[in-house]
Structure 1
Amino acid sequence: DLITEAGKAFGNFQKMLRNFPADALYETIPNFHNTVKRFTDLFHSLIDDDSDRAKSAKEELTYLIDNRFNAESLCTMLGNDEIPLRVTHNDTKCNNVLFDMDTGKSLAVIDLDTVMPGLVAYDFGDAVRSICSLTNEDETDLDKVCFDLNRFEAFTKGFLSQVKDVLTEKEKKSLTLAPYAITCELSSRFLEDYLRGDKYFRINYPLHNFDRAKCQIALAKDIAKKQEKITEIIKKYA
């Protein structure tokens, strides 16, 4: 299964670099997964309302504001010294894994330009956010948006087969929080960019960032509904 092999590849990346001092690396993209800052930026964009779009996004803003503390849970754990900084990849998509064409086995993780200090949970969370979503991240039919638990189990099985003896117990707990946290973080980034007048993400039509934000919020809601099962799967392989 390619998804399990992708999990193994990113888990092995962590295992190989487990003793590498993360603080020796340059922060390629400052505050990349600083969810607290991402939400602060969103609040500032709401207050400024440069493009007069805040009214149109009232429902989405309310959801993210109401769930801010859950979204910031990983940053809270880091701030309390519950989990360590490690060397992280920060672009954990399946297309950043090389596979053997004949066997389907994973060979290597590629695209290393975003390797920097970070949390294992963010790498894990972003991987499953992209792999387990059954739609594109800008799907406009929100009824189709779904977090697939079979894909999640396949990736988790592969990932934890490599790192279950590397991660601390608190880090394993942080993995359970990661899918929801990272999805809310990305939602906030898309929504902030929409409120700012689409300055960062490339868009194909005027409401593209707004549609992206709504899609990711729908995905976060589905993840929240499945949180108990997500936790069970992680415990099963940890």
Structure 2
Amino acid sequence: MQSPKRALEEWNINLPHIESPDQGLINGTWVLGDPPQYVLQWVNPIFSPLIHQDLQVVLKHLEQKGCITPNLIPTRDGSPCWVEENGCWRIWSFIEGSTIHKIENQSIAVQAGALVGTFHRALSDINHTFIAPQRDIHNTPERMNELKAALDRSPGHPLEKEATVLGEKILQAWKIWDGTMDQPKRICHGDLKISNLRFNADQSKGVCLIDLDTIGPNPLSVELGDAWRSWCNRSGEDDPTAAQFDVDIFAASAKSWMLNAPELLQIEKDSLVGGIERICLELSARFCCDAINNSYFKEDQIRYPQKGMHNLVRAQSQYTLAMSAKENRKICTQIIDQSYNDRK
């Protein structure tokens, strides 16, 4: 990977840059300017540079629908990104506001649901064939097969015992999961963790969605299962003992989303709640797999100096959250059904 300073030469931008405090697990992010003017990102090579051509189409459509979006700043030769040997770089316009990492109250949950519902409605009539290869990241059966393979390779690994015990629990929970896999797809954001929603300064209103690399066709149950996995966790990804599904946050956000969302098919509505447990188990499997493989997710090596331990902790947290979501499935289904009926 080239340095941020070298990348900025491709835009003829000479601004101070600092590493963003809101780093994701995949890409690298720097804030440019003081006060901030742009956001520079190194894009992991798991994403094709072609995603930027798709993003230009989607961003234009969102703007035409009145949605606020960050804009891609073209390089000095007019390209939406600069491609180098190990990934590519891009610059976004900076959106004023705040980023949060945990929903602390129902008011924020309402705003989050409204923002995402509006986003889904705005994209419900887009007519675009995606150019970039679509990542099959939410192929849950395949993620479970990858976990099995990782556990088979684990003998001799320092975390073999812990990863095997947890991995077998994850696989068993997936085996008895009784949700629906065969669902229609819509154009979705693809990664609705709460830190990918931008709020205004006092967090009284949702402003826009960011980190748009993952936009593409997905079932709504996958899209919202991932959202509620993030939004409704009372602890965080690094606290497996306290992970619990917050039904009140779910209710506030689900009702607000339903009021702003496009019309749903019956199968879409009926599959939403089951998607929460599915995505929790899927992410738990991915973290557990990477605890052995150490090939994908960044780890906090200061808090977790033993290689793989951070991912193992994350895997346990997501498994605990999956079990909590399962326990609350009946009441969550009632909330969805009532919200769906109220909008008719």
Normalised by the shorter chain, which TM-score bucket?
Answer: 0.7 to 0.9
Cα distance in 2, alignment partners of residues 50 and 99 from structure 1: 46
Query: In the superposition, relative to structure 1, how do residues 61 and 168 fare at CA in structure 2: closer, same or farther (>3 Å)?
Result: same
Higher helix share: 1
CA contact (8 A) 1:72 1:181 kept: no
Identity of aligned residues (%): 29
1:11 matched to 2:117? The reply is yes
RMSD: 2.1
For residue 98 of structure 1, give the secondary structure of its aligned residue in structure 2. Answer: strand
Counterpart position of 1:88: 188
For residue 67 of structure 1, give the secondary structure of its aligned residue in structure 2. Answer: helix
Which residue of 112, 118, 141 corresponds with 1:36? 141
Matches within 5 A, 1:138-149: 138-140=238-240, 142=241, 144-149=242-247
Deviations 1:63-114 (A, max 9, x none): 112122455845x32xxxxx21111101213333333446823232232222
Higher strand share: 2
Counterpart position of 1:201: 297
For residue 87 of structure 1, give the secondary structure of its aligned residue in structure 2. Answer: strand
CA contact (8 A) 2:186 2:217 kept: yes
For residue 198 of structure 2, give the secondary structure of its aligned residue in structure 1. Answer: strand
Cα distance in 2, alignment partners of residues 7 and 38 from structure 1: 28
For residue 312 of structure 2, give the secondary structure of its aligned residue in structure 1. Answer: helix
CA contact (8 A) 1:35 1:72 kept: no
Between Structure 1 and Structure 2, whose CA radius of gyration is higher?
2
Cα distance in 2, alignment partners of residues 54 and 27 from structure 1: 37
Cα distance in 2, alignment partners of residues 237 and 51 from structure 1: 51
Matches within 5 A, 1:1-238: 1-21=107-127, 24-26=129-131, 30-49=135-154, 52=157, 53-69=159-175, 73-74=179-180, 76-77=181-182, 83-101=183-201, 104-140=204-240, 142=241, 144-163=242-261, 166-196=263-293, 198-204=294-300, 205=304, 206=306, 207-238=309-340
CA contact (8 A) 2:118 2:260 kept: yes
Structure 2 unaligned residues grouped into runs of 5+: 1-106
Structure 1 unaligned residues grouped into runs of 5+: 78-82
Deviation at 1:176, TM superposition (A): 1.4
TM-score, length-normalised on structure 1? Answer: 0.87
For residue 187 of structure 2, give the secondary structure of its aligned residue in structure 1. Answer: strand
For residue 217 of structure 2, give the secondary structure of its aligned residue in structure 1. Answer: strand
CA contact (8 A) 2:163 2:291 kept: no
CA contact (8 A) 1:97 1:110 kept: yes
Cα distance in 2, alignment partners of residues 25 and 116 from structure 1: 7
Cα distance in 1, alignment partners of residues 197 and 203 from structure 2: 14
TM-score, length-normalised on structure 2? Answer: 0.61
What amino acid is aligned across from residue 122 of structure 1 in structure 2? V
Deviations 1:10-66 (A, max 9, x none): 1111111112246x1245651111111111111111122275243332331221121
Q: How many aligned residue pairs are there?
A: 227
For residue 207 of structure 2, give the secondary structure of its aligned residue in structure 1. Answer: strand
Cα distance in 2, alignment partners of residues 194 and 175 from structure 1: 29
CA contact (8 A) 2:151 2:164 kept: no
What amino acid is aligned across from residue 233 of structure 1 in structure 2? I
Deviations 1:160-190 (A, max 9, x none): 1122x51101000110111101100000000
What amino acid is aligned across from residue 206 of structure 2 in structure 1? S
